[in-house]
Amino acid sequence: MAEKPLTIYRSDYTPPNWLVDEVELHFDLDPETTEVISRLRLRRNPETEAGPLRLDGEGLELLGVRLNGRPLDDENYLRKPDGLTFPELPSPCLLETRVRINPAANTALEGLYVSSGNFCTQCEAQGFRHITYYPDRPDILARFTTTIVADQVRYPQLLSNGNPVARRKLPDGRHSVTWEDPFPKPCYLFALVAGDLVEISDSFTTCSGRDIALRFYVEHHHRDKVGHAVEALKKAMRWDEEQFGREYDLDIYMVVAVDDFNMGAMENKGLNIFNSKYVLARSDTATDADFQAIEEVIAHEYFHNWTGNRITCRDWFQLSLKEGLTVFRDQEFSADQVHRDAKRIEDVRLLRNSQFPEDGGPMAHPVRPDSYQQINNFYTMTVYHKGAELIRMMQTLLGRDGFRKGMDLYFERHDGQAVTCDDFRRAMADANGRDLSQFERWYSQAGTPRLDIRDSFDAKTGRYRLRVRQSCPPTPGQPQKESFHLPLRIALLDREGKEIPLRLQGEDTADGSDRILEIQHQEEEFVFCDLADRPMPSLLRGFSAPVILDYPWSDADLAFLLRYDRDPFGRWDAGQQLACRQLLQLVELIRENRPPAISPLLASSLGGVLRDETCESALRVQLLTLPSETYLAEQMQPADPGAIHRARQFLRRELAAELRQPLLALYRQLHQTDGYRCTPEDAGRRGLKNLCLGYLLELEETEFQQLAVAQYRQADNMTDQLAALQALCNSDVAEREELLNDFHARWKDQPLVLDKWFTLQATSRRDDCLDQVIKLAAHPDFNLRNPNRARSLLGALAHSNPAAFHRNDGSGYRFIADYVLRLDRLNPQIAARLVSCFNRWRRMVPELGEQMRAELERIQTDSKLSRDVREIVGKALNG
Ligand code: B3K
Ligand code: ZN
């Protein structure tokens, strides 16, 4: 029977009738039959009218119910597949339920499941209802006590939130541990782990002098890959004290790494559970990007302790309250660890490549959505990353000090509460005596706004006018939009590229050369005085708002900005626009079967960047990386992924041919062999070196291919080894097969490295890529049940290799759609992520778009489809 889509609306929120003060949980663990007893101390909510008690519960075998210690007959409650309803209960009361579950059969990895023989949980957003009957909503905060019973030999570690308060040896080789969490929390933050794991311990002394035990738990053979994550945690703890005055609150902080995990990690109170990808790293198994991602995710989960756990969400529509804010915090933390400028560009690139398309497609939703069918589908780029941009804009509008004041007030007012995005905005406004009411529209209106900027200069008066017009395209359910409040950071440059002191009309004297203009109306005009010549504007500096900017630059203007703008984002953006124009022209030529050719301006500008030794390596990498095929497809209507791919490859080859001397010289200069260091500087140098190698290999010359082969063979670290193999994997070099086999043989026992081996082949630029992927799906090491592995092959093809996925004959679509259906039976969350690769079918050239639609329709006819996939497919077809 097909589940009928049930839509949940934000406007339907009502506070709970019943509150839970205390929860006592008792787990008797066994892979196939685990028994869970839950005792809830309940009382009526004094702030609402009397009403029934509703407990969520799904897939639970109910063994018994007791009220105040006595068995309760089943006529006293209503039992449905999604929960229990008790029409009448005395208040206060003690309600006990006993259920049986099967963790080993849990392939959805939500609730209690088994990964590599160990038990672990994932409860956010609504996994707790797969463990026991409970009011599974984030606005019910209770104190948890958890007793875990299990076989002592197979499960020596028994972990849950808070502090261990009792340990017992039991008959039959079993033992038990009881944990108490003193902080009331919503059930989505509950966690349990049981297994045979090695404990790696360290400690941290907080600013007030308390000693915190840090404990990392991993499988025994991974014990030598935890050091980086431990250091990252300590840095994050210190940073949150220094930047936000926030100290850790419990005495123990635990992190567990598991191989089977749907997302990156989970911030359970005092017991984070991580995808092992974001914990385990050694220089020979993990790349510089992996090291950076680990630091970021460790920090993100740690920061949730204040932004998410101590102050949580009233309902799931408010998800960005914790996620947008915590992403902003981890971005700032990472910017302080690595190169701030390059990091900002990476964040903008991600937003443009992934969030803009979401905002322009059938899944477009406000940062605070109004409705959902499956909340798991709303852990999106919009909620996380556009949400982070909203926080950043508030900081830009209020200034760093004003923002900090707002954060302090937010913690002071709401610690221990479940609140809304409005509460956050109000704290920011009140702490600064500012009106942020219009800013609310960023939370309620979907779509990427556009700023059209035009200017004029009057030589007689020396006045320069900037006219700013904002608009926002319609999105599903929102045909009309109202104006946004946003900061537009600008500077004006003179002919030498120097910033000009700025005096706006009405001001007495010039004040600084970098300004934040506040935009609130649909049209705004700013008049700058005392200009000798027409200036060159530098607009949206630092990407001060998540918008699309339109200004009539000439190619020469863009080349000028790429060279002179002191704002690194401005430089990068100018280069991207210049390259984007060139690429779109090439696409047209290719589509018309005319000979492609490039203008010399781009090559000479990029040549300048390549030789600019004053520019940090990490920034040079960003400046020299062409816009992605996905981004280009968004700039073209209808999009032709095949032509885009050919155009981008053509441009890469032309640039390599044009710049071969400086590329080779730089490669040689940077290719030191004096040992690996995991520092931002060295990582930047490796990044630039490998970028040069990638370009050189486009030339398909033996000399360069041999450089890559040698780099692969001699590499003492995964960054260099993988970069060499990746470059070779794209070309026709004789050693290709041999090296791929070598890599597999070397790393077959390291799942995270083997994932890279799959991804490398799934993102290859070669024409035979899809055929290889189809073969790899039958490889003995491929495994649909492991989310990382499924993503490494299927996700990589569908989301990161447009040319192969959009093959003209539709075979890429059929292949992925088949796997969506297979995956949906096992793990709906992962299947829903995968199927979203079809969302943009309306933008594609019709011969492709129609085939994509046909696959969506085929998926939709499957009667057993999960709510997760059904929601995405339904929106893609109707949106
Ligand atoms: N809060 C978790 C995400 C849980 C996702 C559930 N489907 C990870 C994070 O954002 O930190
Ligand atoms: Zn988060």
pLDDT, tens digit (0-9, with 9 covering 90-100), for 41-71: 999 999 999 999 999 999 999 999 999 999 9
**pLDDT tens, position by position, 570-582:** 999 999 999 999 9
Taking Cα atoms as reference points, which of 399, 445, 443 lies closest to residue 425?
443
Reduce the DSSP state of residue 486 to 3 states and report it.
Answer: strand
Cα 558 from Cα 549, distance rounded (Å) = 14
Per the CB < 8 A criterion, the answer to whether 350 and 343 are in contact is no
What confidence tens digit (pLDDT) does each residue in 715-766 have? 999 999 999 999 999 998 999 999 999 999 999 999 999 999 999 999 999 9
Please state the rounded mean pLDDT for residues 478-504: 98
Residue of the CA atom closest to atom 3 of ligand 1 = 266
pLDDT digits (tens, 9 = 90+) for 225-255: 999 999 999 999 999 999 999 999 999 999 9
Q: Name the pLDDT band for 672 (thresholds 50, 70, 90).
A: confident
1-95+122-195 and 450-550 share one CATH topology? yes
Sorting pLDDT into bands at 50, 70 and 90, what band is 2? very low
**8 A C-beta contact, residue 456 and residue 465:** yes
**CA 868 to ligand 1 center in whole angstroms:** 16
Q: Which residues line ligand 1 (CB under 6 A)?
A: 124-125, 263, 265-267, 300-301, 304, 323, 376, 379
391 Cα to the center of ligand 2, angstroms: 14
> How many A from CA of 825 to the centre of ligand 2?
27
Mutate to test the pocket of ligand 1, among 120, 121, 123, 124 (most ligand atoms within 8 A of CB): 124
Q: Is the pLDDT of residue 5 over 80?
A: no
Tokens of 514: 């970098």
Task: State the average pLDDT over residues 768-797.
Answer: 98
Q: In whole numbers, what is the pLDDT of the chain averaged over residues?
A: 98
CATH of domain 197-287+301-310: 3.30.2010.30
Q: What is the CATH number of domain 748-879?
A: 1.25.50.10
Ligand 1 pocket mutation, candidates 122, 190, 255, 267, criterion most atoms within 8 A of CB = 267
In the chain, where the domains are located: 1-95+122-195, 197-287+301-310, 312-444, 450-550, 748-879
Residue that is written with structure tokens 């904002």 in the block: 470
Q: Which atom of ligand 1 lies nearest, measured to the CA of 125?
A: 6
Q: Could you tell me the distance, in angstroms and rounded to a whole number, from the CA of residue 623 to the centre of ligand 2?
A: 29
Phi/psi of residue 600, each to 5°? -70, -15
Residue with the nearest Cα to atom 2 of ligand 1?
Answer: 266
Distance 603 CA to ligand 2 centre (A): 41
The 8-class DSSP code of residue 301 comes to H
**Mean predicted confidence (pLDDT) in 596-610:** 97
- How far, in whole angstroms, is CA 717 from its chain's centroid? 26
Residue nearest to atom 6 of ligand 1 (CA): 124
Q: What is the pLDDT of residue 9?
A: 98
Q: Which CATH architecture has domain 312-444?
A: Orthogonal Bundle (1.10)
Ligand 1 pocket test, pick from 109, 123, 263 with the greatest ligand atom count within 8 Å of Cβ, gives: 263
Of the pLDDT bands very low, low, confident and very high (cuts 50, 70, 90), residue 4 is low
**Residue nearest (by alpha carbon) to ligand 1 atom 10:** 323
Q: Tell me: pLDDT of 3 over 60.
A: no
Q: 737 Cβ partners below 8 Å, 6+ apart?
A: none
Rg (CA), the chain: 28
Return the pLDDT at 297: 99
pLDDT 10s digits, 637-661: 999 999 999 999 999 999 999 999 9
Helix (H) or strand (E) holding 1: none
Residue 674: pLDDT band by 50, 70, 90 thresholds?
confident
Q: Which CATH architecture has domain 450-550?
A: Sandwich (2.60)
1-95+122-195 topology per CATH: Immunoglobulin-like (2.60.40)
Nearest CA to ligand 1 atom 9: 266
Split at pLDDT 50, 70, 90, the class of 673 is: low
Residue 579 CB partners (closer than 8 Å, separation 6+): 602, 626, 627, 651
Q: What percent of the chain has pLDDT over 70?
A: 99
| Mean pLDDT value across residues 586-607 | 97
Residues 35-43, mean pLDDT to the nearest whole number: 99
pLDDT of amino acid 879? 74
Q: Is the pLDDT of residue 258 over 50?
A: yes
Interatomic CA distance for residues 492 and 541, integer angstroms: 11
Residues with catalytic roles: 301
pLDDT exceeds 50 at position 429: yes
Closest ligand 1 atom to Cα of 297? 11
Closest by Cα among 259, 141, 220, 310 to 751 = 259
Q: Nearest residue CA, atom 1 of ligand 1?
A: 266
Centroid of chain to Cα 48: 37
